[in-house]
Amino acid sequence: MFVFGTADDVFAMAVRIEENGNAFYAGAAEITKNPEVKKLFEDLALMEASHIKIFRTLRSQLPDTASEAVWDPEGLAESYLEASADSHVFTVEAATDRLKTVKTAVEAVDMALLFEKDSLAFFLGIKEILPDPNGRDEIDKLIKSEMLHIRMLSGVKRRLAETGTGGIF
């Protein structure tokens, strides 16, 4: 395929991903009894809320050509973004419904890690198709933030394993 959606469509998907992350983290923070995990999820919910604002701002600054299909002669952007998008749940309700299946803090952290890794892959794909170099700088900041989220979650998961408190949710 030679074209893939529009830049505006991609940013709309990015906002949705961040909304899902915010809903998941806020919901997980409400139900967890583990103080360290609760604090982590509260912090991540706030970070996701700031990402929503950034993506909305970037989306509003897209040029008029953002409603035109993105040129993708090798189909790389399309394949990359579709694979990333397929692994995400695109409704806030589904993100919070996933919490109903979580029984332990480790399960919640593992679910969050998958979400963050999928988000990272998606944002790397966005960066590749973004027409404005200035927007790429903002995407780079968000990519670094997603990487920080992964480090934060991995650190808590490691401590839960070390302390044997991973079953408390």
DSSP assignment of 7-23, as one string?
A: HHHHHHHHHHHHHHHHH
70 strand-pairing partners: 4
Indicate if the pLDDT at residue 2 is higher than 50.
no
Q: Is residue 164 classed exposed, middle or buried when 0-12, 13-18 and 19+ CB atoms within 10 A define those classes? A: exposed
Of 24-28, 38-42, 60-64, 144-148, where does mean pLDDT reach its minimum? 60-64
CA distance 60 to 76: 25
Is the alpha carbon torsion for 7, 132, 3, 51 positive or negative? negative
- Please report the domains of the chain, with CATH numbers, ordered by start residue: 3-163 (1.20.1260.10)
Please count the residues of the chain: 169
Tens-place pLDDT, residues 63-81:
766 555 655 666 666 666 6
11 strand-pairing partners: none
Per-residue pLDDT, 134: 64
Tens-place pLDDT, residues 112-156:
998 898 888 888 877 776 666 666 777 888 899 999 999 999 999
The DSSP H or E segment spanning 151 is helix 133-163
**Nearest CA to 118 among 137, 160, 146, 157?**
146
**Nearest CA to 116 among 157, 77, 76?**
157
Indicate if the pLDDT at residue 41 is higher than 90.
yes
The DSSP H or E segment spanning 70 is strand 69-71
Q: What percent of the chain has pLDDT over 90?
A: 31
What rounded mean pLDDT belongs to the chain? 80
Task: Please give the model's pTM, rounded to 2 decimal places.
Answer: 0.80
* Cβ atoms of 21 and 156 closer than 8 Å: no
Place of tokens 């982590």: 40
Q: Other CB atoms closer than 10 Å to residue 38's CB: what's the count?
A: 17
Indicate if the pLDDT at residue 28 is higher than 80.
yes
